[in-house]
Structure 1
Amino acid sequence: MNKRAKQLVLACSVPVLILLGMCFAPLYTMLTGEEMILQTKPVDPSDPFRGDYVTLQYEAEEVPISLLEKAVVTRLQNKGGQFDVYVLMAKKNGVHTPIKVSLEKPDNGLFLKGTINYIDKDNQGQEIAIIEYNLDKYFIEDNTGAEWEKASAKGEILAKLKVDNGYAVLTDITTK
């Protein structure tokens, strides 16, 4: 093979390797990750251009400030802005809920890596941290959107995830 052909093969293989690399983390998580179930909150999707999908918001995205380690609160107060946190989860009544939020990756236990955005107040006036996990949309079969929208509005959807080392992949949704 001459030099020009080697360069062409190399140039064509780099994008392919990049695309394959992007697929590795989700596939590895799907195969080896532990299952987690999160409770969703009511949300009304309103984008008619994306086909049938369900927009999901999770109860675990609104974490009471009492579950944040002191270092997380200090960083929010001093620097503000968004930054990554680790949310340790425990299973209660068949659903995983946050029990601790820290800057350091937990040594053991099931946890999600998320991005803390800000501190707000919930409907009862208690301070909560708003954390995003990037698991907010789930595309569904055509012509089933109305059923899922009704279930979502009632907060009756459970999301099934596969989690590996804090990285999560939304695998399925079910109703209670």
Structure 2
Amino acid sequence: MMTGKRLVISALVLALVQIGFLSWIIAGRAAILRNGKEVLLKIEPVDPRDLLRGDYITLGYDISRIPVKMIANIPAGTFSSDDTAIVVRLKKGADGYWTPVTAWFGKAPTPAAADEADILGHVAAGWDLRSEGMTIAPDYGIERFYLPEGEGMTIQNDMRVRPFGIRLALASDGTAQIKALVDGDKTLFEEPLY
């Protein structure tokens, strides 16, 4: 039977492990936001509200639908995607927005050039890879942006009239974090580091 002192020590150790794990997650996100390569993507909104976190907009991008013909390393005879990672190479356009130029399942075979960046996504199993006219829909973990209470519908309505963008920070492995919501040259909402 544990004594009271051992019970308190066990509880403290467990609490420290939990705090350490949460701190590690937060520090990793902050490191990407602080040091990651910035890219700007055009967005297409969809409106909802999260009861626990408030107003948000669901975001779609040029990179939300990747044509199968853009994927450079589909093995011959493969009919559908496995549950796997995908790397999408982005290139900066004259308008400042980044667009997809090629993609690979797994890892990119070469590093991105100075005017390029790689974003890491995830493709669920079952996407049809047989036809060049088909597309797949990777998940990058950047499909929602939370807004202050009461701002969601106003921003959503404005997005239907003029283009908005999301400024991302990309880690060296392609992991993306949303850095800010922008309206032209104006930053509307910026994510805090912590």
Q: TM-score range by the shorter chain?
A: 0.7 to 0.9
Matched, 1:25 2:25: no
- Counterpart-to-counterpart distance in 2, 1:46 and 1:27: 26
Percent identical residues: 16
Kept in 1, the 8 Å contact 2:88–2:118? The answer is: yes
Q: Measured at CA, do residues 24 and 70 of structure 1 come closer, stay the same or move farther in structure 2, by a change above 3 Å?
A: same
- Counterpart-to-counterpart distance in 2, 1:65 and 1:45: 28
Matched, 1:65 2:73: no
Residue-by-residue CA offset, 1:59-104 (whole Å, 9 max, x unaligned):
1111222210133x658625x3431111111101211111111122
What secondary structure, in the 3-state scheme, does the structure 1 residue paired with 2:69 have?
A: helix
Matched, 1:16 2:19: yes
**Residue 163 of structure 1, aligned match among 170, 174, 191:** 170
Letter in 2 for 1:40: I
- Counterpart-to-counterpart distance in 2, 1:64 and 1:24: 35
Matched, 1:88 2:92: no
The structure richer in strand per residue is: 1
Kept in 2, the 8 Å contact 1:160–1:173? The answer is: yes
Q: After superposition, where does 1:64-143 map in structure 2 within 5 Å?
A: 64-71=67-74, 74=76, 77=79, 80-92=81-93, 93-102=95-104, 103-105=106-108, 107-109=110-112, 110-117=117-124, 118-119=127-128, 126-143=133-150
- Counterpart-to-counterpart distance in 2, 1:48 and 1:20: 25
The structure richer in helix per residue is: 1
Q: After the TM superposition, which of the residue ranges 3-12 and 132-141 deviates more from structure 2?
A: 3-12
- Ranges in structure 2 where 5+ consecutive residues have no aligned partner: 185-194
- Counterpart-to-counterpart distance in 2, 1:139 and 1:38: 17
Kept in 2, the 8 Å contact 1:67–1:101? The answer is: yes
The Cα shift of 1:119 comes to: 4.4
What value does the CA root-mean-square deviation take over the aligned residues?
2.6
Q: Measured at CA, do residues 167 and 155 of structure 1 come closer, stay the same or move farther in structure 2, by a change above 3 Å?
A: farther
